[in-house]
Amino acid sequence: MKDQNPKQPAEYISLVSFLILKVVLSFVLVNSMYELHRDEFLHLDQANHLAAGFTSVPPLTSLFSWLIKAFGNSYFMVKLIPALFGACTIFYCWKIVDFLKGNLLAKCLVAVACVCSSLLRLNTLYQPNSFDVLAWTAIFYYLLKYFDKNEARYLYAFAVFVALGFLNKYNILFLIMGLLPAIIITPNRKIFTDKSLYVAILLALVIISPNVIWQISHHFPVLIHMKALQSTQLVYVNRIDFFIGQFLFFISSIFFLLAGIGSLIFYKEFRKYNWIIFTYIITLLVFSYFKAKDYYALGLYPVLLAFGAVYLSRVLAKKYVLTGLLFVFNIGSFIYLLPLLMPVYSSAQIIARHKRFERVGALRWEDGKNHELPQDYADMQGWKELAALVDTAYGKVKDKSTLLIRADNYGQAGAINYYSKYTNINALSYNADYMYWFKMDKPIKDLILIEWSGDEDPQRKREQPLFDKITKIGELKNPYAREKGAAVFLLEGAKKEVTGIIKSEIEAEKNDH
């Protein structure tokens, strides 16, 4: 049977074009001088230690890492996965617009709004955040469909994405905290009389149960992780900056965002969807109360952009000049702000434009202080150099079976394992998940030690009585790397007590965590 809707081919072509564009931009707008990010290394290493849970993140990321490893563990694959999640987010925005009976213009508007925003930067990093935004967007879509059609299948799809979101990042619990009261105070509370809801809840619980059991059996490390995060990072979060950040993330798409918020409040046709705006407000307040980082709330925005695109497409119907100006502003302002949003500049170029980056807070790190480069950019340099130094030390060791490589932090350990030319190298750390991956089944005879700059014992006097020979292989020289000054030492001929000392240190670190 012939296609009776002549608009469909144009819509399919437009959608596919935007999805391809989204993926391509995730690669071409990253300066080639940058390497992988320190957090990416930890996630990639989890593929070698599959489990129902980790101290740093839930287990879903490790399954994506296993997939990346199966396809060669290349830089391309590492970057492709979050880019695809970003493309899927646009797909769900497209579906939301379609649900609202938006035309092709509205669909193109929301696609441009998503591409020309901080979501593009988010989707260049292999972290749980990209799937988090995708899961939140899918959850809004399936709830919209359920409240409209009252069909159980949408509740089940909703439950699956809640569960997958939970297994990806516990951040999704904040969305649930916003959704529940928002639904209760609107006529949509009739959902609680639908038996299918409880089947859906059971389905979600079954999916997340392995991780819940893991958390219980390991005495809820997520709570300990959150406590550490609160004391080391969230303590520097300013609530005013949190709310300012919500709009700065979408400054190029600000008209879509404001139209989405405004239409859900004032536009008569959208008032039946007011549970979305209530969810948005309540969730932001919860985030603010807990002094969360501003990007934790990014998942709230794709649905708002979709509503804004539909509303603007109706307001601008047949007003071609205004529509063109809207596209020009959105794309033009994004291009102007591109160096602040994406790592297109080299480190030297950023330093030369220091004031521009400082004015928008891009140089403020999690310690609350300003530095020469954005923290993420400093976290994407020096890793290959460090791995090469460790390879030099590794090549000098005759018996690799009794060698331990102990890095100062998870970024170092993961980078060494990823960039080393030796496939069987296994760097570890007393930091993050690595502390649980030690296998002390043989006495340690040699040790490769990586210590960051600022160490109080640069000559390794503490270890001199415990080893026959200590050699400094070198230190990381990259002036732009956050790890600048990290030194690599080869400690040979360990005394018998070394293995026991290391085991005690591991246990002490575990107890502290």
Percent of the chain whose predicted confidence (pLDDT) is above 70: 95
Determine the pLDDT at residue 228: 62
pLDDT above 90 (res 422): yes
Determine the pLDDT at residue 15: 96
Determine the pLDDT at residue 38: 95
- The mean pLDDT value of the chain amounts to 92
Determine the pLDDT at residue 239: 81
Q: Is the dihedral of CA 276, 278, 240, 125 positive or negative?
A: negative
Determine the pLDDT at residue 294: 87
* 46-99 per-position pLDDT tens digit: 999 999 999 889 999 999 999 999 999 999 999 999 999 999 999 999 999 999
**Is 264 within 8 Å of 278 (Cβ atoms)?**
no
Looking up tokens 């996630």, which residue turns up?
43
Determine the pLDDT at residue 9: 86
What is the C-alpha to C-alpha distance for residues 503 and 511, in angstroms, rounded to an integer? 12
Among 29-33, 118-122, 329-333, 459-463, the least confident range: 459-463
* 249-307 per-position pLDDT tens digit: 999 999 999 999 999 999 999 999 999 999 999 999 999 998 888 899 999 999 999 99
Mean pLDDT for the stretch of residues 337-359: 93
Mean pLDDT for the stretch of residues 200-209: 98
Rounded to 10 degrees, the C-alpha dihedral 280/283/289/291 comes to: -90
What is the C-alpha to C-alpha distance for residues 490 and 446, in angstroms, rounded to an integer? 8
- For the record, the structure tokens of 469 come out as 């020979």
Percent of the chain whose predicted confidence (pLDDT) is above 90: 80
- End-to-end CA separation in angstroms for the chain: 64
Determine the pLDDT at residue 233: 56
* 126-172 per-position pLDDT tens digit: 999 999 999 999 999 999 999 999 999 999 999 999 999 999 999 99
**Domain range summary for the chain, segments of one domain joined by +:** 7-341, 347-378, 383-512
* Amino acid in position 89: T
- Cβ burial, residue 488 (10 Å; 0-12/13-18/19+): buried
Alpha carbon distances (Å) from 437 to 372, 428, 432, 449:
35, 7, 10, 17
Alpha carbon distances (Å) from 245 to 175, 286, 337, 349:
18, 16, 15, 24
Determine the pLDDT at residue 163: 98
Nearest to 252 by CA among 120, 425, 122, 384: 120
What is the C-alpha to C-alpha distance for residues 417 and 46, in angstroms, rounded to an integer? 11
Determine the pLDDT at residue 227: 66
pLDDT above 50 (res 4): no
